[in-house]
Structure 1
Amino acid sequence: MYDLAIIGGGPGGYVAAERAGTKGLKVVLIEKKELGGVCLNEGCIPTKTLLYSAKIYDNAVGGSKYGVESKEVSFDFGKMMSRKQKVVKKLVGGVGAKMKMFNVKTIKDTAYIKGRTQQGIEISTSEEEIVAAHLLICTGSEAFIPPIPGLGEPGDVILTNREILELKEKPDSLVIIGGGVIGMEFASFFNSLGTKVTIIEMLDEILCGMDVEMSAMLRQMYAKKGIEFNLSSKVTKVEGNVVTFEKDGKETMLSGDKILVSVGRKPVTTGFGLENLGVELFRGGIKVDDKMKTNVPNVFAAGDVTGFSLLAHTASREGEVVVNNLCGREDRMRYNAIPGVVYTNPEIAGVGLTEEAARQKGIAYKVAKLPMAYAGRFIAENEGGSGLCKVLVGAKYGEVLGVHMLGNPSSEMIYGACMAIEAELTLKELEEVVFPHPTVSEIFKETVFDFGHITSNAKSTAIKVS
């Protein structure tokens, strides 16, 4: 008899298992593939490993701007892919070691929920029949293939995030259907390596959900680097390696060596007996409350399977909420300070409300923004680069509502904004925080300081109340 059974070994599952193990619970973690889930094996880690290789190559090519001359710079695509796999293997092993350290039993197999009895929740695997007092479902998500005529299943030409990470050779041309985070990150990687990249996006801007102004700035940067963007364009059919899309009533045909489909992901809710528990679904995912409880007693869900915030760090925090409540610590999931990052070059990151979201919610706000060039460290490390920091605060109390950044290394700075939102810090309180100098993170404080000095800096600052 286990205290907690977890189906799915991704960031939600293995973090919950670790936390539960440290608290002395008897835990079993069932994962049919490799520990780490999609994030570690087919998403976050392998893509960031490749993007770093591309960034190193970009820096070598552009080294002369910094007084560093590199003659005949080249790259080895095969080595990049091999290193990616080495990194993944090492981290998967690390997760496994942690499970052993905290006495979590791991089973590599497909789980099947048989139902509930008086003894508990029964789960079947080929290794053993499991009975657990509580069940946490972390089955994640999979790439969504839209019903476009001729698209079909992934193969040699049609790719999802999974297949494109297994390429043996760099394609000369790549058509990407969908300009979201996944699409833009792969566009960035292959563009750096010289692939002709074309993006087809149905909406009128890339990176839906991110700050629109910064998304447009990033798109313009990549357009200068050679990526072709087709916005407000709907793909109508795919024939072989030819994609047909429609814009303003006009049809256009594009061909590419490979076609990447990245129009979103869908929760995995079938194939493991979920129906035997009568768990309620909502918009394709498992419906949960702010304690990650489902409608079935002692059954919880975390991560992409809920269909709400499909991010690895969200899943980890949701898993923590489940374990904390099981162990007597009152905890609730909050989504007001979940950061989002796009690991392009330059990076874009944001947390909290965007201007668009604030207006939709009818929240009165003020916004200040400054070019990243106001930070000396940014100038020192980004010759000819541009970027922006934007801070939204409540119009009445001056509490931080949202922070958005474009420029390297936004991904490493955004956590400070998350903490400010969580702690409900005000402008006055932030002005008293000491930032190390010189760092790019100082741009956050400089932008906050700018709220009180609008007249002296009118060109780089904007204030809006809605």
Structure 2
Amino acid sequence: MARKYDVVIIGAGPGGYTAAFKAAQFGLSVALIEAKKIGGTCVNRGCIPTKALLHASDMFHMMQNCDAFGVSTDFIAFDFGKMQKYKKQAVAKYREGIEAGFERLDVDIIHGTARLRRDRTVEVELAEGGREFLQGNAVILATGAVPIMNDIPGASLPGVWNSDRLLAAESWNFDRLTIMGGGVIAVEFATMFNNLCSQVTIVEKQKHLMAPMDDVMSVELENELRRKGIKVYCDATVTEILEEEGSLSCVITPNDGSEPVKTRAGQILMAIGRRPDVSRLLGKDISLDMKDGKIAVNSDFETSEPGVYAIGDVAARTQLAHVAAAQGTYVVEKIAGRPHSIKLEVVPNGMFVSLPIVPNCIYTDPEIATVGITEEIAKTCGLKVRCGHFSMRDNGKSIITGEEHGFIRLLFEAYSNTIVGAQMMCPRATDMIGEIATAIANGLTAQEMSFAMRAQPTYNEGIGAAIEDAMRHDPV
């Protein structure tokens, strides 16, 4: 006999735990099933541990370059084991906060491996042994994604890592690191290990890093990485990994067919993407429509099985923790019959273009953050825009901190002067992008964005300067 709930959620990552919190707050009975640790990839093997190690590595990097600020030290070193301990403490503290919320809201947490069956029934192989069946008026699938590993020759050699394993490494063995892939995970790991004086090489098969990003941002990012001493090979592929004299080497083959290059690789990180984790999700008595390896959903995130929803990396076009959380909120509000409190995109008054309002953040140095559309996308949509650009070398806070590389770029629809997009590469970009996302979501104009003063000296002043610059330019 199956235990009955209003909502049964499979997966306790940002999508799953946010949905559980919302459903419980609405007074719905909730069961949340997790095979591993509460928090999913983001909390345990992704966002939180990565940013903790990035912060620790940045502290070491800053101390190496502190003489210009009148601070000197005879000796500076890092202890990778202690950095990992600090990371684990940060992860545990974050996870404990989530678990405390579940206790407060009386969410049933079930540890085990879940499998969806017909009639919105979920079969759970319990971690402590045995089997249990749960039935929900609604079921939410939030099982996330797992790293993709390339099957090129040598891929199974010791010293070839995925991001999950590398984040858990206990000892330092990364004086040289080659990274396959040029996406968010790749550039963040490159930044982290470069901070720790590792010789880092990135190999990306696309013509630029961060392929979905507009070319201007990509080129600026590549220039920044190279300035820091990171080798970047774009439009090239690692076609073979070799073990030579106790060390690894990579054969890098340019996509234009020119002569391959063999480079000493040290350790190798495969960061070529993540695929939805659906391998053990479905029982024999049910099937769901799939599209491009993801669970297919409609505009309400409902699958081909009525009453069964899929959110986050297992179904979403954009693999971001805050996207999963937003989708979880949306679905639970629909289930509970509540008005929606969150949007993923918006069509401003008088326009015909749908603007994404999901911030994309990359924790490099300087940070990168984008939202809305780029000038290139605006042109393909037939939208005339005004572009405002501000270089952070002229920003007072940047001058004070010595972080003068980067820029803020804002786009406004040319006739109404409504904000439609932003690209930032500068200190605190990941914090400041929220202002622009809010402005786009509410259809604010350049004038309306200028009403509020921005404190001096702050990096945020750059937004005001970019607005002024945009209003001085003719539409393009």
TM-score by length of 1: 0.93
Q: Distance in 2 between matches of 1:128 and 1:387?
A: 54
Unaligned runs of 5+ residues in structure 1 are 455-462
Which position in structure 1 is the counterpart of 2:155? 151
8 Å contact 1:211–1:404 — kept in the other structure? Answer: no
8 Å contact 2:419–2:443 — kept in the other structure? Answer: yes
| Number of positions where the alignment pairs a residue of Structure 1 with one of Structure 2 | 451
Which position in structure 1 is the counterpart of 2:162? 160
Which position in structure 2 is the counterpart of 1:359? 379
Letter in 2 for 1:352: G
Q: 1:9 aligns with which of 9, 12, 23?
A: 12
Letter in 2 for 1:421: I
Q: Distance in 1 between matches of 2:52 and 2:132?
A: 37
Q: 2:367 aligns with which of 347, 358, 364?
A: 347
1:150/1:75 CA distance change after superposition, 3 Å: closer
Report the more deviating stretch, 235-244 or 307-316: 235-244
Matches within 5 A, 1:158-237: 158-167=160-169, 168-237=171-240
- Post-superposition Cα deviations, 1:304-350, rounded to whole Å, max 9, x if no partner, equal 00141100000000000011111112437524111111111211111
Matches within 5 A, 1:426-437: 426-437=445-456
Q: Distance in 2 between matches of 1:158 and 1:183?
A: 14
Deviation at 1:171, TM superposition (A): 1.1
1:417 aligns with 2:436: yes
8 Å contact 2:412–2:470 — kept in the other structure? Answer: no
Q: Distance in 2 between matches of 1:275 and 1:440?
A: 55
Which position in structure 2 is the counterpart of 1:319? 328
SS of the equivalent of 1:204 reads coil
Which position in structure 2 is the counterpart of 1:334? 344
Which position in structure 2 is the counterpart of 1:136? 140
- Post-superposition Cα deviations, 1:54-113, rounded to whole Å, max 9, x if no partner, equal 111111111112222222111111110111111112212221111111111111110122
- Post-superposition Cα deviations, 1:38-61, rounded to whole Å, max 9, x if no partner, equal 011111000100000111111111
Q: Distance in 2 between matches of 1:102 and 1:273?
A: 29
8 Å contact 1:114–1:124 — kept in the other structure? Answer: no
8 Å contact 2:24–2:105 — kept in the other structure? Answer: yes
Unaligned runs of 5+ residues in structure 2 are 346-355
1:82 aligns with 2:85: yes
Report the more deviating stretch, 188-197 or 370-379: 370-379
Letter in 2 for 1:379: I
8 Å contact 2:249–2:266 — kept in the other structure? Answer: no
8 Å contact 2:414–2:475 — kept in the other structure? Answer: no
Letter in 2 for 1:35: I
Q: Distance in 1 between matches of 2:75 and 2:122?
A: 62
Letter in 1 for 2:100: A
SS of the equivalent of 2:113 reads coil
1:157/1:361 CA distance change after superposition, 3 Å: farther
8 Å contact 2:112–2:124 — kept in the other structure? Answer: no
- Post-superposition Cα deviations, 1:360-411, rounded to whole Å, max 9, x if no partner, equal 333322211110134322222225x311000011123221111111111111
1:253 aligns with 2:262: yes
1:285 aligns with 2:294: yes
Deviation at 1:264, TM superposition (A): 1.0
Deviation at 1:122, TM superposition (A): 3.9
SS of the equivalent of 1:451 reads helix
Q: Distance in 2 between matches of 1:436 and 1:286?
A: 46
Q: Distance in 2 between matches of 1:114 and 1:222?
A: 48
8 Å contact 1:350–1:414 — kept in the other structure? Answer: yes
Matches within 5 A, 1:435-446: 435-446=454-465
8 Å contact 2:163–2:271 — kept in the other structure? Answer: yes
Letter in 2 for 1:141: A
Q: Distance in 2 between matches of 1:427 and 1:83?
A: 43
SS of the equivalent of 2:443 reads coil
Report the more deviating stretch, 269-278 or 249-258: 269-278
Q: Distance in 2 between matches of 1:340 and 1:25?
A: 32
1:388 aligns with 2:423: no
Deviation at 1:148, TM superposition (A): 2.5
Sequence identity, in percent? 32
Letter in 2 for 1:369: H
Deviation at 1:135, TM superposition (A): 0.2
8 Å contact 1:318–1:333 — kept in the other structure? Answer: no
RMSD: 1.7
Report the more deviating stretch, 297-306 or 58-67: 58-67
Which position in structure 2 is the counterpart of 1:458? none
Which position in structure 2 is the counterpart of 1:460? none
Report the more deviating stretch, 408-417 or 426-435: 426-435
SS of the equivalent of 1:110 reads strand
